[in-house]
A and B are shown apart, each in its own frame.
Chain A
């Protein structure tokens, strides 16, 4: 069972109280974008064995969307953070670096 802390409720919420929202930090390409950008936005997803960034919603709680950084192998959670950001905040990156030195994920490191 995956347990994530909702950054808005400040509470530990278990997987059954949350809804999964897919990969985090996707750049939305709209009208006027190239076919390649549109393909990237719609279909191209990371599928890592290890560190991953995801969107989750506190659906049986406060209803807010948030982000989570976790390991898909060990289920270790490095942290959760607000939805209103384009990349993981410094403290999340620091927490990951402490456990997974030299990590990279898409353009982040």
Chain B
């Protein structure tokens, strides 16, 4: 069998922490900066650097991504620094699965599965989109121009993995190369 035209991998060792707090509150932005060294991203966007980063999930929800090894310290740091704000910090790593798509045609693969416009005009590289993949909820962002990371609930990871494998199979290219 020939190789898929965009590679699919399920990633381990990436922790995810949800912060519920008013992201327009300067004290919250400062506490996140102090805890993670990163700035809260603009609406519907992500700021990612390798396995670490922040994603805008809603006006009052922030996704914090970090390597598994930094998971406990990041949760503790955020909890301590946000103690004076109306905020909630929850480690959701065990509830989620992470997939990585890599390949020049990565936007074409997304376009098969999500109702989001995946053209570069509508979806800049710093975008984070919460949407649905086929039948299940998921979010995605770009690591670089040809690499996308997808997060979904672990309970639907098997469905997601099979769907991604099918959508990247050799012969199913959207445009001939």
Main secondary structure on chain B at its contact with chain A? Answer: strand
The answer to whether A10 touches B59, judged by C-beta atoms less than 8 angstroms apart, is no
**With A60-B130, A60-B131 in contact, is A16–B43 under 8 Å at CB?**
no
Q: How large is the interface on A (under 10, 10 to 19, 20 to 34, 35 or more residues)?
A: 10 to 19
Residues of B within 8 A of A61 (CB): 58, 130-131
Interface size on B, residues (CB 8 A): 13
The answer to whether A11 touches B44, judged by C-beta atoms less than 8 angstroms apart, is yes
The answer to whether B115 touches A16, judged by C-beta atoms less than 8 angstroms apart, is yes
Q: Within 8 Å of chain B (Cβ to Cβ): is A91?
A: no
Q: Within 8 Å of chain B (Cβ to Cβ): is A40?
A: no
Q: State which residues 129-158 of B face A: CB under 8 Å.
A: 129-132, 137
Main secondary structure on chain A at its contact with chain B? Answer: loop
Minimum Cβ distance to chain B for residue A4 (Å): 12
User: In the bound complex, what is the Cα–Cα distance between A12 and B122 (angstroms)?
Assistant: 10
Contact code string B24-44 (vs A, CB < 8 Å = 1, else 0): 000000000000000000011
Q: Which of B130, B132, B137 has the most CB of A within 10 A?
A: B130
Which of B57, B58, B61, B131 makes the CB contact (< 8 A) with A17?
B131
The answer to whether B131 touches A62, judged by C-beta atoms less than 8 angstroms apart, is no
A positions within 8 Å CB-CB of B = 8-14, 16-17, 60-64
